Amino acid sequence: MTSTEYTCCICGFLDTDRSAELADVRSNVRRFSRERFPLWRCTGCGSIHSSRQVDLKEYYRYYPYFQQELDLVLRWAYRRLTRRLRRAGLDKQHHVLDYGCGSGLLVKYLRKKGYDNVVGYDPYSEDHGDESALQRRYDLVIAQDVVEHSEDPLEALRTLDRLTEHGGWIAIGTPNAAGIDLRRAEKYVHPLHQPYHRHVFSLSALQQAGENLGWRLEKTYFAPYTNMPVLSLPFMHYYMRCFDGTMDVLFERPLASRRLWFSPETLYWLIFGYYLCDHADVVAIFRKSE
Ligand SMILES: [Zn+2]
């Protein structure tokens, strides 16, 4: 590895004495789960970087998230997300952009709930790939699971900034490198999500990068909206471990596992999982200056 590969694209730190914490981890997508991907943590800001250059197009071709549907569980999660956004100041008249909306399930959900001015944009979506959505500014820009996928995370934040009205909000849901222990990389295989997550901010680095754009961090949630009572994020991680430990399991929803039905661990995670969610994923709600 050359020294340029140890230059942090988030804080600019150049690790000349090669002190970076290193690890490698498998992919949590079944098709690639035998592949391992090297990671390093910036000593300067604590962010985690994926160091192997890959042809991401090939990996996105088999992306399990494309199978997601707006079912009861996801509606429940979106209800929690909407509640958080309302607490931040969202109302039904606001213009909202879901940037990186995938197949547009959140857009569909919010419109059904009476948020008529919600649009989605995703360059990989046939229905939401229209770039005219990027020609205006919004009261709220949501970027859930977006910035960590970018090869240039600061540019991703600048894009969000360009799309936000002065005084508007930017809601970023992303893994938090500060909550990930690279010595136990397998435990964090899902937030690390290799090779799709290229650069994972530490929360403090994200806050600093936001402040550099004139944003103020208004609220931080140390659990994603998908961490729900009973079907908590730690339970979902356990559920995946009952099978082959890949995220494909979440979309296939298999039930044929002795461990799932007969291990006391199942009950443990169902009851206590919600309270045991670690800080490996955060939602940071920023407000852009007036
Ligand atoms: Zn850094």
> What digits encode the pLDDT tens for the residues 119-176?
999 988 888 999 999 999 999 999 999 999 999 999 999 999 999 999 999 999 999 9
Token code pair at residue 149 = 């996928």
How many A from CA of 9 to the centre of ligand 1? 7
For residue 89, is it left (φ>0), alpha (ψ between -120 and 50) or beta? left
In a domain, 30, yes or no: yes
The verdict on 218 and 74 lying in the same domain is yes
In a domain, 58, yes or no: no
The verdict on 188 and 216 lying in the same domain is yes
Most confident of 116-125, 174-183, 216-225, 246-255: 174-183
pLDDT for residue 123: 87
Identify which of 246, 119, 243, 224 has the alpha carbon closest to the alpha carbon of residue 176.
224
How many A from CA of 211 to the centre of ligand 1? 15
In a domain, 114, yes or no: yes
Indicate whether 2 pLDDT > 80: no
Indicate whether 17 pLDDT > 80: no
Domain boundary among 53, 75, 95: 53
The verdict on 74 and 152 lying in the same domain is yes
Which residue would you say has higher pLDDT here, 199 or 103?
199
In a domain, 22, yes or no: yes
Query: Using 50, 70 and 90 to split pLDDT, how confident is the model at 5?
Result: low
Instruction: Report the CATH number at residue 209.
Output: 3.40.50.150
How many A from CA of 226 to the centre of ligand 1? 28
Average pLDDT, the chain: 93
Number of domain units in the chain: 3
The verdict on 100 and 134 lying in the same domain is yes
The verdict on 24 and 113 lying in the same domain is no
How many A from CA of 45 to the centre of ligand 1? 4
How many A from CA of 205 to the centre of ligand 1? 7
In a domain, 254, yes or no: yes
Indicate whether 78 pLDDT > 80: yes
> If you average pLDDT over residues 113-117, what whole number do you get?
97
Query: Using 50, 70 and 90 to split pLDDT, how confident is the model at 3?
Result: very low
> What digits encode the pLDDT tens for the residues 201-221?
999 999 999 999 999 999 999
Residue 141's DSSP bridge partners are 97, 170
Indicate whether 263 pLDDT > 90: yes
Helix-helix angle 105-112:72-88, to 10 degrees: 70
pLDDT for residue 91: 95
Indicate whether 89 pLDDT > 70: yes
Q: Do residues 233 and 281 make contact, with C-beta atoms less than 8 angstroms apart? A: yes
Indicate whether 111 pLDDT > 70: yes
The verdict on 258 and 198 lying in the same domain is no
Identify which of 143, 77, 70, 142 has the alpha carbon closest to the alpha carbon of residue 105.
70
The verdict on 152 and 75 lying in the same domain is yes
pLDDT for residue 40: 94
How many A from CA of 11 to the centre of ligand 1? 4
How many A from CA of 259 to the centre of ligand 1? 41
In a domain, 8, yes or no: yes
Domain boundary among 34, 53, 72: 53
Q: Which domain holds residue 284?
A: 64-225+280-288
The verdict on 214 and 238 lying in the same domain is no
pTM for the model stands at 0.92
Q: Kind of pairing, strands 281-288 and 164-175? A: antiparallel
Question: Distance (Å, rounded) from C-alpha 97 to C-alpha 92?
Answer: 13
Place of tokens 């944003």: 215
Indicate whether 31 pLDDT > 80: yes
How many A from CA of 41 to the centre of ligand 1? 8
> What digits encode the pLDDT tens for the residues 274-288?
999 899 999 999 999
How many A from CA of 203 to the centre of ligand 1? 12
Indicate whether 82 pLDDT > 80: yes
> If you average pLDDT over residues 33-47, what whole number do you get?
95
Query: Using 50, 70 and 90 to split pLDDT, how confident is the model at 65?
Result: confident
How many A from CA of 6 to the centre of ligand 1? 9
How many A from CA of 194 to the centre of ligand 1? 19
User: Which residue type sits at 78?
Assistant: Y
Identify which of 187, 101, 110, 186 has the alpha carbon closest to the alpha carbon of residue 145.
101
How many A from CA of 42 to the centre of ligand 1? 5
Count of beta carbons in the 10 Å neighbourhood of residue 13: 16
Token code pair at residue 43 = 């000593």
> If you average pLDDT over residues 100-123, what whole number do you get?
95
